[in-house]
């Protein structure tokens, strides 16, 4: 763990990489959730 912290302290650019990837995962899984809810609702409306 300590060596990982030391690595990020000396190469701070990779902190930006990790944050960027985290943001992307957040956006992606949010959009997948929206898609699931939308398809469920569309099926419901269609079956009425």
Partner 1 sequence: MTKNKIYQYLLLVLMILVISLSFLPKIALDPKSFFEFPLIPGLEDKARIIFFHVPTALITVIAYLISMAYGIKFLRKNNMEDDIKSVSAASLGLMFCILATITGSVWAKFNWGSFWHWDPRETSIFILLLIYGAYFALRSAIENPEKRAKLSSVYSIIAFLTTPFFIFIMPRMMIGLHPGSLEIDAQSGQIVKSANTVIEFKMAPNMRVVFFLSMFTFTMLYFWMWNLTSRFLILKNKISSSKE
Nearer to partner 1, 2 or 9 (CB): 9
Site residues (CB under 8 A) for partner 1, limited to 7-46: 13-14, 16-17, 20-21, 24, 28, 31-32, 34-35, 38, 41-42, 45
Q: How far apart are CA 5 and CA 31, in angstroms?
A: 32
Q: How far apart are CA 29 and CA 23, in angstroms?
A: 10
User: Helix (H, G, I), strand (E, B), or coil: what is residue 48?
Assistant: coil
Residues that bind partner 1 (CB under 8 A): 13-14, 16-17, 20-21, 24, 28, 31-32, 34-35, 38, 41-42, 45
């Amino acid at each position: 763990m300590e060596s990982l912290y030391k690595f990020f302290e000396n190469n701070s650019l990779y902190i930006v990489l990790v944050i960027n990837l985290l943001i992307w995962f957040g956006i992606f899984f949010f959009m997948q959730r929206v898609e699931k809810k939308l398809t469920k609702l569309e099926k419901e409306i269609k079956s009425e």
